Amino acid sequence: MPYQPLPDGGALRRFELHLAALNRSHRTITTRLTHLATAARALGTASPSEVTSEDLEVWCGSAQWAPETRHAYYSSLRTFFRWLYRENPEEDPSQWLPSIHRPIPPPRPAPDSAISEAIAKAHPRTRLILELAAELGLRAGEIATLNTTNLTDTGDGWTTLTVEGKGGQIRVLPVSPALTAQIRRQQGPNGWVFPGNINGHLSPRWVGTLATKVLPEPWTLHTLRHRFATVAYNAGTKDLVAVQHALGHKSITTTQRYTQTSLDLKDLMTTTKL
C-alpha cells in the first residue's frame, strides 16, 4: 500500500529525507514509511515522541506476523527511532526489539511443465512476463519497470539488459535474440514494455497477479525466479557466485535459498555406505 501522510507528518517527512540522503532506494523508503504509517495508526499517538517501549511491546506482541514480516517491521521501527533519538539514544523505545530468527524455507522452483501450461494459455503480454522471470530471473518490480532504453545491442542478435534491482544494485544480463524480439514487440509509449498508470508502467503487484492468473496452483511469479536460479546452477558449472550476480542478491546466503540442487541423495547414501 502507498504511504499516507500521518498527523506528525513533519517527523516522517524529515525521516524520508534522511533515507533519501543515505541513497536508500525508492522501494526501501516506501516500505519503511508504510510500516511506520501502520504503526502510527495502531498506536494512536499524536507524535512518535510519545511512543513508549510498553506501547511497542503491546502492539508487536499482539501482531500475528510471520517471522519475515516481524523482522521487516522491527527493522523499520529500529531505524526510525534510532534516527529520531540520535541525540538521546537512551530514550529510544525500540532498542529492546530483538533480532528475529527467520527459518530458511526450501527452494520452490516452478516445474517447466507448469510454466509451459501457463504460457500456452497466456496473452502475449503475460507470456512475456513469465519468460522474463523464468529465463532471466527478473523480479516483479524489475519486469514492471522494464524499458527498451535499457537494452543494448551486442551485434550478434543478442542484447544486454541493464537492470536496477533492490537497493539500487545494477546488473547486466545477456538476452537471447528471441526474447529481445518479444520485448521490442511489446514496447509501448516512452519505451515501457508494460505500459500502465504507475509512472507510465504497470505496478509490480499487477505483474504478479497476471502471472498467478495463468500459473497452476501453487505456483507464483516468484517461483519462476527460483526456477531460473535452480536451472542456472545445475545446468551450468554450479557456480553459485555467478547465479548470485545474475539474480542481483547482495548475500550469497539468499541465493542458496533460491537454488535447489540436483544432487540425488539416494545416490549419495549409496556412495557412503560401508
Question: Would you give per-residue pLDDT tens digits along the chain (274 residues)?
Answer: 444 444 445 888 899 999 999 988 777 888 899 999 999 999 998 889 999 999 999 999 999 999 989 999 999 999 999 999 999 999 999 999 999 988 777 888 999 999 999 999 999 999 999 999 999 999 999 999 999 999 999 988 899 999 988 877 899 999 999 999 999 999 998 999 999 998 899 999 999 999 999 999 999 999 999 999 988 888 877 888 888 888 888 888 887 878 876 655 555 565 555 5
Cell numbers at 111, concatenated: 516445474
- Establish whether the linkage from the previous residue to 218 is cis, with ω within 30° of 0: yes
Separation between Cα atoms, residue 253 and residue 247, nearest integer Å: 12
Decide which of 58, 91, 124 is a domain's last residue: 91
| Cβ neighbourhood burial of 53 (10 Å; 0-12, 13-18, 19+) | middle
Q: Same domain for 252 and 133?
A: yes
Considering the domain boundaries, does residue 174 fall inside one?
yes
Q: Same domain for 134 and 74?
A: no
Considering the domain boundaries, does residue 78 fall inside one?
yes
Cell numbers at 236, concatenated: 551450468
Considering the domain boundaries, does residue 155 fall inside one?
yes
Considering the domain boundaries, does residue 35 fall inside one?
yes
Q: Same domain for 243 and 119?
A: yes
pTM for the structure as a whole: 0.69
- Sign of torsion over alpha carbons 122, 108, 198, 6: positive
> What pLDDT score was predicted for residue 263?
53
Q: Same domain for 118 and 85?
A: no
| φ, ψ at 152 (rounded to 5°) | -130, 125
> What pLDDT score was predicted for residue 30?
86
Q: Same domain for 116 and 252?
A: yes
Separation between Cα atoms, residue 142 and residue 155, nearest integer Å: 25
Q: Same domain for 53 and 141?
A: no
Q: Same domain for 117 and 165?
A: yes
Please tell me what DSSP assigns to residue 1. -
Query: Residue 223: helix, strand or coil by DSSP?
Result: helix
Q: Same domain for 160 and 85?
A: no
Q: Same domain for 81 and 122?
A: no
The CATH number of the domain where 149 resides is what? 1.10.443.10
Q: Same domain for 69 and 119?
A: no
Considering the domain boundaries, does residue 172 fall inside one?
yes
Decide which of 91, 124, 155 is a domain's last residue: 91
Q: Which of 53, 109, 94 minimizes the C-alpha distance to 221?
A: 109
> What pLDDT score was predicted for residue 5?
41
> What pLDDT score was predicted for residue 167?
74
Considering the domain boundaries, does residue 192 fall inside one?
yes
Decide which of 57, 91, 125 is a domain's last residue: 91
> What pLDDT score was predicted for residue 105?
75
Please tell me the total count of domains within the chain.
2
Considering the domain boundaries, does residue 36 fall inside one?
yes
> What pLDDT score was predicted for residue 264?
55
Q: Same domain for 15 and 150?
A: no
Q: Same domain for 72 and 124?
A: no
Domain that holds residue 32: 9-91
The CATH number of the domain where 74 resides is what? 1.10.150.130
Considering the domain boundaries, does residue 97 fall inside one?
no
